[in-house]
Amino acid sequence: MSDASESYVTLARILRPRGVKGEVAAEILTDFPERLTKLPEVFLADGKAAPRRVEVKACWLSQSRGGQAIFQFVGCDSIEAAEKLRGLEVQVPLAERAPLPPGRYYVTDLIGCEVFQNGGRIGIVRDVQFPGGPVAPGTPLLVIESSGRELLIPLAEDFCIRIDTASRRIEVVLPEGLLDLNRT
């Protein structure tokens, strides 16, 4: 059960009805798509009202159109009912996110962290970029807002020596000149 103050994380976005029994096709927005098939319930959100809890009757992964999740929700048993779900986000409470192995972080946990080097504040993480994409992934880059400028710092163990998302703090050791190179 959730309360109004609970935060949610989006795992998929409903694209359209699929089939005649109320199934919907959804764009997968999680790095753990297999988890979708095991969820007994989810929350559907439109971004306006509080997310509403729905029971999942079935979910399977389809390889059509680059990979989609097909959901069938309890109480949704027609094309017309499925059409009403178009555009809704499939969410779970933030506390129910899949656990990550040590050294891996959710982007949402990194955004807002303050970045320090030798005790001095460099700035705050505003985004994380993933150069190269999923086919040829490179080292993620922390996008740091620093005195009105944008800095890019590799999210690598050699540079980010301590990441404490609970304290919203990242300690870095950067090669000489990296900050100056970034300040354009």
Residue range 77-98, pLDDT digits in tens: 999 999 999 999 999 998 898 8
Average pLDDT of 143-170? 93
Distance CA 93, CA 49 (A): 15
Average pLDDT of 60-76? 91
Task: Tell me what pLDDT residue 4 has.
Answer: 46
Q: Are 43 and 8 in contact (CB under 8 A)?
A: yes
**How high is the mean pLDDT of the chain?**
89
Confidence band, pLDDT 50/70/90 cuts, at residue 180: confident
Task: Tell me what pLDDT residue 102 has.
Answer: 86
pLDDT tens digit sequence for 108-150:
899 999 999 999 999 999 999 888 765 556 789 999 999 888 9
pLDDT for residue 101 is more than 90:
no
pLDDT, greater one: 178 or 175: 175
pTM > 0.85? no
Distance CA 171, CA 120 (A): 10
Superfamily of domain 107-182: PRC-barrel domain (2.30.30.240)
Would the CATH topology of 8-96 be identical to that of 107-182?
A: no
> What is the fold, at CATH topology level, of the domain defined by 8-96?
Elongation Factor Tu (Ef-tu); domain 3 (2.40.30)
Output the DSSP codes for 156-171.
-TTTEEEEETTTTEEE
Average pLDDT of 25-37? 93
Q: Give the distance, in angstroms, between the CA of residue 172 and the centroid of all CA atoms in the same chain.
A: 24
Q: Where are the domains of the chain?
A: 8-96, 107-182
Q: What is the CA radius of gyration of the chain?
A: 20
- Name the one residue in this structure whose structure tokens are 């997968």: 28
